[in-house]
Amino acid sequence: MKVNNENYRAIWIEDQTVCMIEQNKLPFEFAVHKCKNVEETCFAIKTMITRGAGSIGAAGGYGMLQVILNSKDGNLEKNLIAAKKQIDSTRPTAVNLSYATQRVLNAAKTSREFAISEAHTVADECAEHGRLIGEHGNKLIKDGFSIETHCNAGWLALVDYGSALAPIYAAHESKKNIFVYVDETRPRSQGARLTAWELNQEGVPHAIIPDNAGAHYMSHGKIDMMIVGADRIAANGDAANKIGTLEKAIAAKYYGIPFYVAAPSSTIDLNTLTGKNIVIEERGEEEVLYFTGQDKKNELHEIRIASPGSGAKNPAFDVTPAELITGIITEQGIIAPNVESIRKMFINDL
């Protein structure tokens, strides 16, 4: 995708340095963060310098690549096993991390060269899957539609093109008249800061709305469909996504609004039978109690926005049951959120 008319991916590698768009500084500053080793890459994933299921999967693959490039042949497998454990622990809910690290580890058992190639392939496939998700999802969007989103599942989150935003970009490029309602997505405001920034770059008409305004707009007939991303989809179609997704799905069901999850097949975890088995990441309370923003002089400040002396709970994700999901938009097409459809997709992919 383009930033100031220049093409970028959300994450890439130059020699042994993993480069990523510094998402914590957006939308106020566009910067590239560089990680010289796997420890720095893990820190970037943990602190959400890079975020989004696909992008952190690519980061995980590149982190493994850094280990390969710095390992002697006799210690390669041992070092990769240790690195995989370190990388996978940074964001436990997102399955794309372990998917990517396992692919590189498996490839290393064949050859060092194949493992290096596989790390690049993981990122390239993620970008291509985002493009295909856009093609399939665009078929659901009619001219004149208003679409609600939650969190950020654009190109920043999926190396390129995006998952939930990919159909929106495809619809916009095909000259459909669309409008996007962007949930602010507290506590880190990825919608207000990242999705809105992306849509601005692409010239897509939109407005940021408070997280608790979604049902209001649904009740007034302002929302035609909702598309969200996912960090892990269980074998039965239950989907974990940014906290607040579940209540939007409940409201959409009540008002008869189609609710779609857009994600590449790498986000589907056949080893997780239902959403009840998904580990929910608990992040630090400071994300709830404090906020960083820009004042009228364009200076950034971190301020406390909550009652002094009060603590906070900060679950990063919730799980939307399959029965609330209209369909899952994947690179292979749109499938029903159930065991049979998911298994059939993977059988066809073999």
Do both 52 and 190 map to the same domain? Answer: no
Do both 296 and 172 map to the same domain? Answer: yes
Residue 21 has a pLDDT of 97
Rounded-to-integer distance, Cα 152 and Cα 143, Å = 23
Mean pLDDT over residues 241-247, rounded? 97
Picking from 71, 96, 130, the residue at the C-terminal end of a domain is: 130
Picking from 89, 114, 130, the residue at the C-terminal end of a domain is: 130
Whose tokens are 């059939």? That residue is 344
Do both 89 and 166 map to the same domain? Answer: no
Which secondary structure element, helix H or strand E, spans residue 210, and what is its range?
Answer: none
Catalytic residue among 224, 231, 238, 318: 231
Question: How far is residue 318 from each of residues 93, 119, 158, 275, measured CA to CA in Å?
Answer: 10, 30, 20, 9
Do both 124 and 180 map to the same domain? Answer: no
Do both 235 and 342 map to the same domain? Answer: yes
Q: Which pLDDT tens digit goes with each residue over 167-191?
A: 999 999 999 999 999 999 999 999 9
CB 292 within 8 A of CB 300: yes
Contacting residues for 212 by C-beta, under 8 A, at least 6 apart = none
Q: Which pLDDT tens digit goes with each residue over 278-327?
A: 999 999 999 999 999 998 888 889 999 999 999 999 999 999 999 999 99
**What is the domain count for the chain?**
2
Mean pLDDT over residues 180-209, rounded? 96
Question: How far is residue 25 from each of residues 22, 180, 292, measured CA to CA in Å?
Answer: 6, 23, 10
Do both 122 and 136 map to the same domain? Answer: no
Least Cα distance to 70 among 100, 42, 112, 32 occurs for: 112
Q: Residue 217 sits in a domain of what CATH number?
A: 3.40.50.10470
Rounded-to-integer distance, Cα 164 and Cα 134, Å = 8
Do both 115 and 169 map to the same domain? Answer: no
Active site residue 231: yes
Mean pLDDT over residues 86-97, rounded? 92
Q: Which pLDDT tens digit goes with each residue over 26-40?
A: 999 999 999 999 999
Do both 117 and 141 map to the same domain? Answer: no
Q: What is the widest separation between alpha-carbon atoms in the chain?
A: 65
The pTM for the full model equals: 0.93
Domain range for 89 is 2-130
Mean pLDDT taken over the chain: 95
Residue 73 has a pLDDT of 67
Do both 285 and 339 map to the same domain? Answer: yes
Q: Residue 38 sits in a domain of what CATH number?
A: 1.20.120.420
CB 295 within 8 A of CB 319: no
Do both 65 and 152 map to the same domain? Answer: no
Do both 76 and 168 map to the same domain? Answer: no
Do both 126 and 136 map to the same domain? Answer: no
Picking from 100, 130, 160, the residue at the C-terminal end of a domain is: 130
